[in-house]
Chains A and B, each alone.
Chain A
Protein backbone atom coordinates (compact mmCIF):
# COMPACT_ATOMS: atom_id res chain seq x y z
CA UNK A 1 0.00 0.00 0.00
CA UNK A 2 1.48 3.33 -1.05
CA UNK A 3 1.86 5.90 1.70
CA UNK A 4 1.03 9.58 1.79
CA UNK A 5 3.02 11.44 -0.84
CA UNK A 6 4.12 15.05 -0.52
CA UNK A 7 6.07 17.39 -2.74
CA UNK A 8 8.34 19.20 -2.77
CA UNK A 9 10.43 17.84 0.09
CA UNK A 10 12.30 21.09 0.58
CA UNK A 11 11.63 24.68 -0.40
CA UNK A 12 13.55 27.88 0.22
CA UNK A 13 11.88 31.18 -0.59
CA UNK A 14 12.18 34.82 0.35
CA UNK A 15 9.61 36.54 2.50
CA UNK A 16 6.62 37.91 0.61
CA UNK A 17 6.97 35.22 -2.05
CA UNK A 18 4.34 32.55 -2.64
CA UNK A 19 4.68 28.80 -2.25
CA UNK A 20 2.47 25.77 -2.74
CA UNK A 21 2.64 22.26 -1.35
CA UNK A 22 1.00 19.18 -2.75
CA UNK A 23 -0.30 16.08 -0.99
CA UNK A 24 -1.65 12.78 -2.29
CA UNK A 25 -3.28 10.76 0.51
CA UNK A 26 -3.59 7.01 0.82
CA UNK A 27 -6.18 5.69 -1.58
CA UNK A 28 -9.60 5.44 0.01
CA UNK A 29 -8.86 7.74 2.91
CA UNK A 30 -11.69 10.22 3.31
CA UNK A 31 -9.99 12.52 5.79
CA UNK A 32 -6.98 14.66 4.97
CA UNK A 33 -5.05 16.89 7.35
CA UNK A 34 -2.44 19.62 6.96
CA UNK A 35 -0.22 20.25 9.97
CA UNK A 36 2.45 22.85 10.62
CA UNK A 37 5.37 21.72 12.74
CA UNK A 38 7.68 24.47 13.95
CA UNK A 39 11.07 23.37 15.24
CA UNK A 40 10.80 22.13 18.83
CA UNK A 41 7.01 21.93 18.77
CA UNK A 42 4.46 19.28 17.99
CA UNK A 43 2.38 19.25 14.81
CA UNK A 44 -0.37 21.88 14.84
CA UNK A 45 -3.47 21.26 12.76
CA UNK A 46 -4.02 23.88 10.09
CA UNK A 47 -6.94 22.38 8.21
CA UNK A 48 -8.86 19.13 8.07
CA UNK A 49 -10.93 17.89 5.12
CA UNK A 50 -13.57 15.20 5.04
CA UNK A 51 -13.71 14.24 1.35
CA UNK A 52 -13.68 17.69 -0.30
CA UNK A 53 -15.38 19.56 2.55
CA UNK A 54 -13.61 21.49 5.31
CA UNK A 55 -14.18 20.08 8.82
CA UNK A 56 -11.88 22.41 10.77
CA UNK A 57 -9.78 25.36 9.64
CA UNK A 58 -9.89 27.31 12.88
CA UNK A 59 -6.08 27.56 13.11
CA UNK A 60 -5.44 28.37 9.47
CA UNK A 61 -4.18 31.98 9.01
CA UNK A 62 -6.69 32.70 6.30
CA UNK A 63 -5.19 36.04 5.34
CA UNK A 64 -2.21 34.22 3.84
CA UNK A 65 -2.88 30.49 3.85
CA UNK A 66 -5.33 28.65 1.65
CA UNK A 67 -5.98 24.99 0.98
CA UNK A 68 -8.18 23.00 -1.30
CA UNK A 69 -9.00 19.39 -1.90
CA UNK A 70 -10.63 19.16 -5.27
CA UNK A 71 -12.47 15.92 -6.03
CA UNK A 72 -11.79 14.73 -2.49
CA UNK A 73 -8.39 13.23 -3.27
CA UNK A 74 -5.25 15.37 -3.74
CA UNK A 75 -4.79 18.56 -1.80
CA UNK A 76 -2.73 21.71 -2.12
CA UNK A 77 -1.73 24.15 0.60
CA UNK A 78 -0.66 27.64 -0.43
CA UNK A 79 1.03 30.46 1.40
CA UNK A 80 0.80 33.92 -0.14
CA UNK A 81 2.72 35.98 0.91
CA UNK A 82 5.13 34.05 3.13
CA UNK A 83 6.52 35.44 6.36
CA UNK A 84 9.67 34.48 8.24
CA UNK A 85 7.61 32.75 10.93
CA UNK A 86 6.16 30.36 8.33
CA UNK A 87 9.45 28.47 8.33
CA UNK A 88 8.43 25.00 9.43
CA UNK A 89 7.76 21.47 8.26
CA UNK A 90 4.35 21.09 6.65
CA UNK A 91 2.96 17.62 7.20
CA UNK A 92 0.09 16.07 5.35
CA UNK A 93 -1.75 13.13 6.87
CA UNK A 94 -4.75 11.03 5.96
CA UNK A 95 -7.09 8.64 7.74
CA UNK A 96 -10.03 6.47 6.80
CA UNK A 97 -12.47 8.87 8.42
CA UNK A 98 -12.57 11.71 10.88
CA UNK A 99 -13.56 9.84 13.98
CA UNK A 100 -10.00 10.16 15.21
CA UNK A 101 -9.66 6.64 16.48
CA UNK A 102 -8.54 5.80 13.02
CA UNK A 103 -4.80 6.12 12.79
CA UNK A 104 -3.46 9.07 10.88
CA UNK A 105 -0.83 8.25 8.29
CA UNK A 106 1.68 11.00 7.73
CA UNK A 107 3.69 11.92 4.68
CA UNK A 108 7.40 12.81 4.95
CA UNK A 109 6.64 16.53 5.09
CA UNK A 110 7.82 19.59 3.21
CA UNK A 111 10.49 21.60 4.95
CA UNK A 112 10.01 25.30 4.22
CA UNK A 113 12.61 27.95 4.92
CA UNK A 114 11.59 31.57 4.49
CA UNK A 115 14.52 34.00 4.26
Chain B
Protein backbone atom coordinates (compact mmCIF):
# COMPACT_ATOMS: atom_id res chain seq x y z
CA UNK B 1 0.00 0.00 0.00
CA UNK B 2 1.82 3.07 -1.26
CA UNK B 3 0.60 5.98 0.78
CA UNK B 4 2.97 8.43 -0.93
CA UNK B 5 3.36 8.19 -4.68
CA UNK B 6 5.75 9.85 -7.07
CA UNK B 7 4.54 8.67 -10.44
CA UNK B 8 7.37 10.10 -12.53
CA UNK B 9 10.56 8.07 -12.09
CA UNK B 10 12.57 10.69 -13.96
CA UNK B 11 12.40 14.22 -15.32
CA UNK B 12 14.72 16.03 -17.70
CA UNK B 13 14.84 19.83 -17.81
CA UNK B 14 16.98 22.42 -19.54
CA UNK B 15 19.14 24.65 -17.36
CA UNK B 16 17.34 27.88 -16.49
CA UNK B 17 13.88 26.41 -16.94
CA UNK B 18 11.41 25.39 -14.26
CA UNK B 19 11.44 21.87 -12.81
CA UNK B 20 8.15 20.61 -11.39
CA UNK B 21 8.17 17.42 -9.34
CA UNK B 22 4.86 15.94 -8.29
CA UNK B 23 3.70 13.84 -5.37
CA UNK B 24 0.34 12.35 -4.40
CA UNK B 25 -0.71 10.91 -1.07
CA UNK B 26 -3.66 8.86 0.08
CA UNK B 27 -3.72 9.22 3.86
CA UNK B 28 -5.69 12.27 4.95
CA UNK B 29 -4.07 12.05 8.39
CA UNK B 30 -0.77 13.34 7.01
CA UNK B 31 -0.25 16.86 8.29
CA UNK B 32 3.33 17.63 7.37
CA UNK B 33 5.16 17.14 4.10
CA UNK B 34 8.84 17.25 3.25
CA UNK B 35 11.10 17.05 0.24
CA UNK B 36 14.51 15.45 0.47
CA UNK B 37 17.26 15.53 -2.14
CA UNK B 38 19.72 12.70 -2.66
CA UNK B 39 23.00 12.61 -4.57
CA UNK B 40 24.62 9.27 -5.48
CA UNK B 41 26.46 7.55 -2.62
CA UNK B 42 25.09 10.04 -0.10
CA UNK B 43 22.15 10.00 2.26
CA UNK B 44 19.08 12.15 1.58
CA UNK B 45 19.25 15.75 2.76
CA UNK B 46 16.31 17.89 3.78
CA UNK B 47 15.27 20.47 1.22
CA UNK B 48 11.97 22.09 2.13
CA UNK B 49 8.78 21.32 4.05
CA UNK B 50 5.19 22.46 4.38
CA UNK B 51 2.56 22.13 7.05
CA UNK B 52 -0.96 21.11 6.09
CA UNK B 53 -2.26 24.47 7.31
CA UNK B 54 -0.42 26.18 4.47
CA UNK B 55 -0.70 25.88 0.71
CA UNK B 56 2.69 27.29 -0.23
CA UNK B 57 6.17 27.54 1.20
CA UNK B 58 9.09 29.19 -0.53
CA UNK B 59 12.84 29.02 0.07
CA UNK B 60 14.98 30.68 -2.54
CA UNK B 61 14.66 28.81 -5.82
CA UNK B 62 12.49 26.12 -4.23
CA UNK B 63 8.73 26.36 -3.69
CA UNK B 64 6.42 23.65 -2.44
CA UNK B 65 2.70 23.81 -3.15
CA UNK B 66 0.11 21.77 -1.28
CA UNK B 67 -3.40 21.02 -2.53
CA UNK B 68 -5.10 19.22 0.34
CA UNK B 69 -8.37 18.60 -1.45
CA UNK B 70 -6.51 16.80 -4.23
CA UNK B 71 -4.00 15.22 -1.83
CA UNK B 72 -1.27 16.51 -4.07
CA UNK B 73 1.92 18.46 -3.58
CA UNK B 74 4.54 19.69 -5.96
CA UNK B 75 8.06 21.04 -5.79
CA UNK B 76 9.02 23.84 -8.15
CA UNK B 77 12.66 24.69 -8.83
CA UNK B 78 13.22 27.97 -10.64
CA UNK B 79 15.61 28.42 -12.30
CA UNK B 80 16.93 24.88 -12.54
CA UNK B 81 20.69 24.41 -12.34
CA UNK B 82 22.89 21.43 -13.29
CA UNK B 83 23.74 21.00 -9.60
CA UNK B 84 20.07 20.28 -8.94
CA UNK B 85 20.44 16.95 -10.76
CA UNK B 86 19.61 14.40 -8.07
CA UNK B 87 16.84 12.13 -6.82
CA UNK B 88 14.06 13.97 -5.02
CA UNK B 89 11.96 12.19 -2.41
CA UNK B 90 8.58 13.38 -1.27
CA UNK B 91 7.77 12.41 2.33
CA UNK B 92 4.70 12.71 4.53
CA UNK B 93 4.26 12.67 8.27
CA UNK B 94 1.33 12.28 10.62
CA UNK B 95 1.75 13.94 14.00
CA UNK B 96 -0.19 11.12 15.60
CA UNK B 97 1.78 8.33 13.96
CA UNK B 98 5.34 9.61 14.38
CA UNK B 99 6.39 7.85 11.18
CA UNK B 100 7.59 9.45 7.97
CA UNK B 101 6.52 7.75 4.74
CA UNK B 102 8.66 8.29 1.67
CA UNK B 103 7.75 8.14 -1.99
CA UNK B 104 9.86 6.20 -4.49
CA UNK B 105 11.64 9.31 -5.71
CA UNK B 106 11.99 11.21 -8.98
CA UNK B 107 15.37 11.50 -10.66
CA UNK B 108 15.88 15.01 -12.01
CA UNK B 109 18.34 15.68 -14.83
CA UNK B 110 19.15 19.31 -15.51
CA UNK B 111 20.92 19.70 -18.82
CA UNK B 112 23.42 22.50 -19.33
B81 within 8 A of A: no
Q: Please indicate the chain A residues that have their CB under 8 angstroms from the CB of B49 in the complex.
A: 101, 103
Nearest-CB residue, chain B, relative to A4: B43
Q: How far is the CA of A30 from the CA of B47 in the complex (A)?
A: 22
Is A43 engaged at the interface, CB distance under 8 Å to the other chain?
yes
Which chain A residue lies CB-closest to B102?
A: A42
Residues of A within 8 A of B51 (CB): 101
Chain B residue at smallest Cβ distance from A45: B99
Q: A44 on the interface (CB 8 Å rule)?
A: yes
Partner of A48, one of B42, B45, B98: B98
**CB-CB < 8 A to A100: which residues of B?**
32, 93-95, 98-100
Total residues of chain A contacting the partner, CB 8 A: 24
Task: Please tell me if the beta carbons of A101 and B32 are within 8 angstroms of each other in the complex.
Answer: yes
B43 to A91, Cβ gap below 8 A?
yes
Q: A106 near B: Cβ within 8 Å?
A: yes
Set B6, B44, B46, B94: member contacting A43, Cβ < 8 A = B44
Interface residues of B (CB under 8 A from A): 4, 6, 9, 32, 34, 36, 41-46, 49, 51, 89, 91, 93-95, 98-105
Known: A42-B6, A91-B43, A109-B43. 10 other contacts (CB 8 A): A4-B43, A35-B102, A41-B104, A42-B4, A43-B89, A55-B98, A56-B99, A93-B43, A100-B98, A104-B100
